[in-house]
Structure 1
Amino acid sequence: MSVPELAALTNDRERIQHEIERLNAEFEHARLEEKIREDHRKQELDALQANVTKREEKLDKILKKEREKITLIDEDERKLEKIDVQIDRDKKSLARFDQQRDRDAEMLRTVTENLQRAFYTNDSISTDMKRETEKLQKEEDGMRATMDSLRRQIHEESTIIAMLDKHLDSDQREFDSLNEAETIRATEAERVATELQTKVDTLTDNVTNLETNDVKTKESLGSLKHNLLDVNENYVKDKDQLVQAKTSISSQHEQAS
């Protein structure tokens, strides 16, 4: 081999060596950049995973609160059922009081009729005493006893009437109180039922919104995962191409040597 050919070959070898070094430097630079991008993608993925974890924890807290609200609603419904039971009991008590009042009124009518008959009897006796003075004189002791008995009966029946009047007044006050209490309970029951329905509607809207947000989050994560897979696939392809280029250059270098 001549000197010029040897010099040319040496120059080619140096040029190839410089090219290999340049390619190695570019490959190392590309590898570092890819590593940086990979680290950045990993950080983004970790951040996304952290956000997903936070959202899941937040969703768990919200679901826990919703379950607690549902428990409170169930308790309010049980309270409402107890109120309905108490209203039924009060209605039954009111019916019993009405029956007792009817019995007391019937007793009052009976006593009034007895008093009227007693007064009629007293008037009849007074008329007979005026008309038959001599005859009544002989029966004076008996008539006095009869009059005393009638007075005692009138006094006793007057006492009974007064007691019945008190009972009727008391029953009327209790009846009015029960009516007022039933009205208050019915109003409260209607208010509680309205509040419960409002809470149920609010909970339903919240659950719907949570489900919608959860679906959107899952879709976003799926799209991100697909993009990451594409990036990784491109990285592998680029890496393979660089390795093949390096191998080809090394082969050429060996052949040249």
Structure 2
Amino acid sequence: MTGTTAQGPAVLSLQGIQKHFGGVVAIENFSLDIRAGEVVALVGDNGAGKSTLVKIIAGVERPSAGRIAVDGVEVAMSDPSTSQALGIQVVYQDLALADRQPVYMNMFLGRELTRGPLRRLDRRRMMAETEALVKELDVRIPSARAAIRELSGGQRQGVAIARATHWASKLVLMDEPTAALGVAETAKVEQIIQGLKARNLPILIISHSLDQVFRLADRICVLRRGRQIGVRDTGSTDKNEIVSMITGLSEQAPAARAS
């Protein structure tokens, strides 16, 4: 991980995003550009506003104010289908997989391929496309026919990421993609993420693990109590600075020096 900032126009641009729930300010004046081939980590304590921000990008929540643009064109994320149609996919922490269904049906959940005038499920084509994708991403599963409940946690996460990758043409959002995984499975998922970056697909990842953040991210964006504290190039910062930004010590430091 070099920590260099990607160049070129923003795939996703957030400008002045705010979100209020009644009198509660969940997001206050958030701005960020994400470019092709870039991994941006969103960090902060619980309640910082990270998941709310992901829901706004995904179209689950509407911003109270601000502007969202995809490839320079302003868009209104009115619902999840709008976000998905624009090529944005989310890997949620609970994965949103159907445990009793096989891998290939999960890959095409809600977008099943059909054939013929009777629109019968084209299982053969879905299996073939699934096998090709998991092979390309090196997601090691027994078979595209295997039920999700038969897979390990790392394999399930790999399937969820593969599904998002299959349908994402612009951006993948990942909410704690390795939170429930062991060391070996975490390393495998991180390898898949690095493979997506190599394919020039931008990724916004939420993670509580700063070790993981520094391994994967080009830039780190810190949220604290709904407020954007700052964005740092990974190669130009360290864990101490990021922790200080997360906890608020960076804001207290100037006052301490003045006294």
Alignment TM-score, normalising by the size of structure 2: 0.22
Structure number with larger C-alpha Rg: 1
The one of the two structures with greater contact order (alpha-carbon pairs below 8 A, sep at least 6) is 1
